[in-house]
């Protein structure tokens, strides 16, 4: 409203200044005419002068409009056409005429912001598609190679079993990747919305840990659970994704004979869940990017996952209004802390 009223005031001021200038020039011309000139001649001269001044002012206004209205509007139209055609590199230079930021400057600045955001989104989308394609190739290649080997006839039963186990592992990895991609896509496009209800968080965590009982026993991992009885209002269907990913990573990266601890405590209206392990740990640089899509950190562990689990966890936590952080040291392990509200 302020910009519009300012522009209107400026327009009104210019109009009155123009009228005043025409009247002043007409008076000066009239006073310069000979006193003995006939009134009809004077009137004719005055009409001519006023008409000439009016034409000059009209032409000047047309030039002004061309420079201050038509040209920026055309630039804006050209920019919107380019953006609509998929060119997100377009940028407009705000004019700031007379050191004043007007409506056109605001539109140009907003268009620049929109184009920059669309460019960033397109880059992320292209990276996402590229990474998904890359991640799909590995398990598909494994499945194809071992399937060919089995089709050509494995030399003995033990080798056939080894090939079959490799096929199962590759298919599981492929399934996990596709599942995470679909879940992440739905969350980012907000086609899923969390359903909040009251439930026992400690019981949910106990059930999530129980699902990994077999592999924990097989790796002789010591699981320490310290779960305070806690009722919370949150989204249990979404939180299952969080606990499954965090516990899966803890089990995956903890060596045989290691320790995993799962704790739950409350602070006021907050529930704080901590999943810690004595696994390989992550570097400080990896910790900065650990929640980014397809970021897998050290190469030695890249084959263990698809780089989507923690990105999915972060998206879920953000969506339900929680927080997540990580503390880690290479060679000593990692600890993920999730803070939830609604106790």
> Cα torsion at 163, 167, 168, 172 (round to 10°)?
150
- Return residue ranges of the chain for CATH 3.30.565.10: 197-341
> In the block, which residue shows the tokens 């400026």?
10
Q: Give the pLDDT score at 297.
A: 55
Q: Give the pLDDT score at 96.
A: 58
- Mean pLDDT on 26-39: 67
Q: Give the pLDDT score at 19.
A: 67
Q: According to the per-residue pLDDT averaged within each range, which of 167-176, 243-252, 333-342 is highest?
A: 333-342
When comparing pLDDT for 53 and 254, which is higher? 254
d(CA 30, CA 335): 92
Q: Give the pLDDT score at 273.
A: 96
For the segment(s) 132-188, the CATH number from 1.10.460.10, 1.20.1050.10, 1.10.287.130, 3.40.50.2020 is: 1.10.287.130
List, as own/partner pairs, every contact residues 108-114 make where C-beta atoms lie below 8 angstroms and the sequence separation is at least 24, other chains included: 108/72, 108/75, 108/76, 108/79, 111/76, 111/79, 111/80, 111/83, 114/83
Cross-strand bridge partners of residue 333: 329
Token couple for 219 = 């790796």
Cross-strand bridge partners of residue 266: 271
Q: Give the pLDDT score at 213.
A: 86
CATH architecture of 197-341: 2-Layer Sandwich (3.30)
- Mean pLDDT on 104-110: 77
Residues in the chain: 343
Mean pLDDT of the residues in the chain: 76
- Return residue ranges of the chain for CATH 1.10.287.130: 132-188
Using 50, 70 and 90 to split pLDDT, how confident is the model at 299? very low
In 3D space, the residue among 278, 275, 269, 215 whose CA is nearest the CA of residue 246 turns out to be 275
Instruction: Decide: 290 and 249 in contact? Cβ < 8 Å.
Output: no
């Amino acid at each position: 409203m302020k910009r519009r009223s300012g522009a209107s005031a400026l327009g009104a001021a210019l109009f009155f200044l123009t009228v005043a200038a025409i009247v002043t020039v007409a008076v000066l011309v009239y006073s310069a005419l000979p006193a003995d000139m006939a009134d009809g001649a004077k009137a004719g001269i005055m009409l001519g002068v006023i008409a000439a001044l009016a034409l000059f002012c009209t032409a000047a206004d047309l030039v002004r409009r061309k420079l201050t209205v038509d040209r920026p509007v055309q630039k804006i139209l050209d920019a919107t056409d380019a953006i609509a055609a998929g060119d997100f590199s377009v940028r407009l230079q705000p004019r700031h005429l007379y050191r004043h930021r007007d409506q056109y400057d605001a539109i140009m600045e907003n268009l620049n912001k929109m184009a920059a955001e669309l460019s960033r989104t397109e880059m992320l989308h292209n990276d996402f598609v590229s990474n998904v394609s890359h991640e799909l190739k590995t398990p598909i290649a494994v499945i194809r190679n071992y399937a060919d080997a089995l089709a050509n006839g494995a030399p003995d039963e033990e080798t056939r079993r080894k090939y079959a186990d490799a096929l199962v592992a590759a298919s599981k990895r492929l399934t996990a990747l596709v599942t995470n991609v679909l879940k992440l896509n739905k969350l980012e496009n907000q086609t899923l919305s969390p359903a909040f209800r009251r439930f026992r968080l400690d019981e949910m965590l106990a059930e999530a840990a129980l699902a990994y009982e077999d592999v924990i026993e097989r790796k002789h991992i010591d699981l320490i659970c310290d779960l305070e009885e806690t009722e919370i209002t949150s989204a249990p269907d979404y939180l299952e994704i969080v606990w499954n990913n965090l516990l899966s990573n803890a089990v995956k990266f903890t060596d045989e004979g290691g320790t995993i601890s799962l704790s739950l405590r409350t602070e006021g209206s907050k529930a704080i869940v901590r999943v810690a392990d004595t696994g390989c740990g992550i570097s400080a640089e990896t910790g900065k990017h650990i929640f980014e899509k397809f970021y897998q950190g050290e190469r030695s562990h890249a084959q263990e996952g698809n780089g989507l689990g923690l990105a999915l966890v972060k998206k879920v936590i953000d969506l339900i209004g929680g927080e997540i952080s990580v503390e880690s040291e290479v060679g000593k392990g990692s600890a993920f802390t999730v803070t939830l509200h609604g106790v």
